[in-house]
Amino acid sequence: MTKPAIVNIEHVGQHAGEEVTLQGWLYNLRESGKLLFPIFRDGTGILQGVVSQKEQPTAFEALHGLGQESSVIVTGKIRPEPRAPGGFEMGVTHVEVVGRVKESEPYPIQLKEHGVDFLLDRRHLWVRTPRQASILRIRAEAIRAGREFMDAQGYTLADAPIFTPAACEGTTTLFEVQYVDDQKAYLTQSGQLYSEALAAALGKVYCFGPTFRAEKSKTRRHLTEFWMLEPEASYAHLEDMMALGEGLVSHIVQSVVRNRRRELETLKRDIPKLEAVLPPFPRITYDDAVAILQQRGNPAKWGDDFGGDEETILSSQFDRPVMVHRYPAAIKAFYMEPDPLRSELALGFDMLAPEGYGEIIGGGERISSYDLLVKRLRENNLPEEAFQWYLDLRRYGSVPHAGFGMGLERTVAWICGTEHIREVVPFPRMIYRVYP
């Protein structure tokens, strides 16, 4: 007799009527007299099994009383069962216990609700639950689709360093590290400045990697370590980047809807809301945004930066992400090109996700004039020596250029509909958490 095929749970539907083998873990076990209803998981899904003491006494004995999260290799026949999760179940005939969870040390995460601090302390185990595994699969799809889109647009992946000599996004959120000997370095806040150099070399580039902010904010939108996808293009302007940003975000969302629908269902995400995320996205000026806020009774005045509350009010006016452009230069980063028509405005934009998820993209056009850039470095008290290489980009063939950064976790949190951004990264790093 040939051995049954080893299959993944996500594919068991293709094996109805066949005997197959699964390699996984015991996710849950319900005992009902002479019947056992184990639920197995293998990382691709969950599958209910049925074992009767009378018909399969050996398999019954192996599973009876077995601790949650023991690892098991199980064999049995797959049959349709509309009441079971996924629509199929397994009539278990054989069980091999690979790693038994001791009765004296039961698995700490039960299927009941736990507090989030309890779960975060056990993140290394929490990732096993179907909900967390679904989120991580969606994250992987968002990364894949993001790269696919950028590559198809003719952007070359060119990564930026993580150790850097200076700040990019303000000196208050810098992580300083003791580098070799007496040298100091900082963990990068954004690859942008390096992408600008690479855009002058390759035309259109993007980097996609971890970035760091010593954010004092303890909100549901802030991590100290997060990933950013950052395109940068030579001879590009603000409008080009808004078009690229809406194309990128809609491609990511539609790819997740197409390729990770089952995971979105596991998360009970409202899928039609995501299906509506198609270009064009609305574009409003900062001036318009302040007017909208004031009409809604928000105390915002012209010149204020927007916080989470303001972003939520603005984004709730639209069924897809909204792009707010031309903010006051005073509240934006030192490198932003001023609007030639109103020099108090910066040619920058933020993309705000719907449903209160806030800013997912920040970017715009960069200063191309050497003299203006030197002036801004001084106004911002930034060390000119550390920026000499960056000034070189304006000394040698400076061109108009633009780019943006898309925060991966903010984007994935919105797509998944998670309450907090910390759930969408395998091991979140926040101001008060670096364990596990």
Write out the residues near ligand 4AD by the rule CB under 6 A. 168-169, 190, 192, 213, 215, 222-223, 226, 228, 230, 359-363, 403-405, 407, 409-410
Q: Which residues share a beta bridge with 212? A: 225
In the complex, the smallest distance separating the C-beta of residue 366 from ligand 4AD, rounded to whole angstroms, is: 8
Other CB atoms within 10 Å distance of the CB of residue 279: 12
In the complex, the smallest distance separating the C-beta of residue 166 from Mg ion, rounded to whole angstroms, is: 18
Q: Which residues bind Mg ion (CB under 5 A)?
A: 362
With CB under 5 to 8 Å by kind, the binding choice for 215 among Mg ion, ligand 4AD, none is ligand 4AD
Query: With respect to ligand 4AD, which residue has the nearer C-beta, 88 or 349?
Result: 349
- Side-by-side strand order, sheet with 225-234: 156-157, 204-212, 225-234, 401-407, 358-365, 348-353, 322-325, 283-285
Contact between 302 and 312 under an 8 Å Cβ cutoff? The reply is: no
Contact between 295 and 289 under an 8 Å Cβ cutoff? The reply is: no
Query: With respect to Mg ion, which residue has the nearer C-beta, 328 or 362?
Result: 362
Contact between 164 and 187 under an 8 Å Cβ cutoff? The reply is: yes
Query: With respect to ligand 4AD, which residue has the nearer C-beta, 26 or 236?
Result: 236
In the complex, the smallest distance separating the C-beta of residue 332 from Mg ion, rounded to whole angstroms, is: 8
Alpha carbons within 13 angstroms on the beta-carbon side of residue 207 total: 22
Closest-CA residue to 224 (of 237, 214, 233, 232): 214
With CB under 5 to 8 Å by kind, the binding choice for 62 among Mg ion, ligand 4AD, none is none
Query: With respect to Mg ion, which residue has the nearer C-beta, 354 or 362?
Result: 362
Phi, psi for residue 153 in degrees, rounded to 5: -85, 5
In the complex, the smallest distance separating the C-beta of residue 362 from Mg ion, rounded to whole angstroms, is: 3
Amino acid at 135: I
With CB under 5 to 8 Å by kind, the binding choice for 69 among ligand 4AD, Mg ion, none is none
Query: With respect to ligand 4AD, which residue has the nearer C-beta, 49 or 407?
Result: 407
With CB under 5 to 8 Å by kind, the binding choice for 328 among ligand 4AD, Mg ion, none is none
In the complex, the smallest distance separating the C-beta of residue 430 from ligand 4AD, rounded to whole angstroms, is: 9
With CB under 5 to 8 Å by kind, the binding choice for 196 among Mg ion, ligand 4AD, none is none
With CB under 5 to 8 Å by kind, the binding choice for 409 among Mg ion, ligand 4AD, none is ligand 4AD
With CB under 5 to 8 Å by kind, the binding choice for 365 among ligand 4AD, Mg ion, none is none
Residues 6+ apart with CB under 8 A from 310: 289, 293, 298, 300, 304
Region for 69 from its dihedrals, namely left if φ exceeds 0, alpha if ψ lies in -120 to 50, beta otherwise: left
With CB under 5 to 8 Å by kind, the binding choice for 306 among Mg ion, ligand 4AD, none is none
With CB under 5 to 8 Å by kind, the binding choice for 190 among Mg ion, ligand 4AD, none is ligand 4AD
In the complex, the smallest distance separating the C-beta of residue 253 from Mg ion, rounded to whole angstroms, is: 20
Query: How many angstroms separate the CA atoms of 98 and 29, rounded?
Result: 17
Residues 6+ apart with CB under 8 A from 269: 415, 416, 417
In the complex, the smallest distance separating the C-beta of residue 335 from Mg ion, rounded to whole angstroms, is: 13
Task: Tell me which DSSP letter residue 216 carries.
Answer: -
Q: Which residues share a beta bridge with 99? A: 71
In the complex, the smallest distance separating the C-beta of residue 307 from ligand 4AD, rounded to whole angstroms, is: 13
Query: With respect to ligand 4AD, which residue has the nearer C-beta, 48 or 398?
Result: 398
Query: With respect to ligand 4AD, which residue has the nearer C-beta, 128 or 237?
Result: 237
Distances (CA, A) of 172 to 53, 175, 188, 433: 65, 9, 13, 19
Amino acid at 68: Q
Which residue matches tokens 């012209």? 302
Query: With respect to Mg ion, which residue has the nearer C-beta, 213 or 422?
Result: 213
Query: How many angstroms separate the CA atoms of 164 and 352, rounded?
Result: 29
In the complex, the smallest distance separating the C-beta of residue 222 from ligand 4AD, rounded to whole angstroms, is: 4
In the complex, the smallest distance separating the C-beta of residue 256 from ligand 4AD, rounded to whole angstroms, is: 17
User: Which helix H or strand E contains 134, and what residues bound it?
Assistant: helix 130-152
With CB under 5 to 8 Å by kind, the binding choice for 228 among Mg ion, ligand 4AD, none is ligand 4AD
Query: With respect to ligand 4AD, which residue has the nearer C-beta, 73 or 143?
Result: 143
Query: With respect to Mg ion, which residue has the nearer C-beta, 146 or 362?
Result: 362
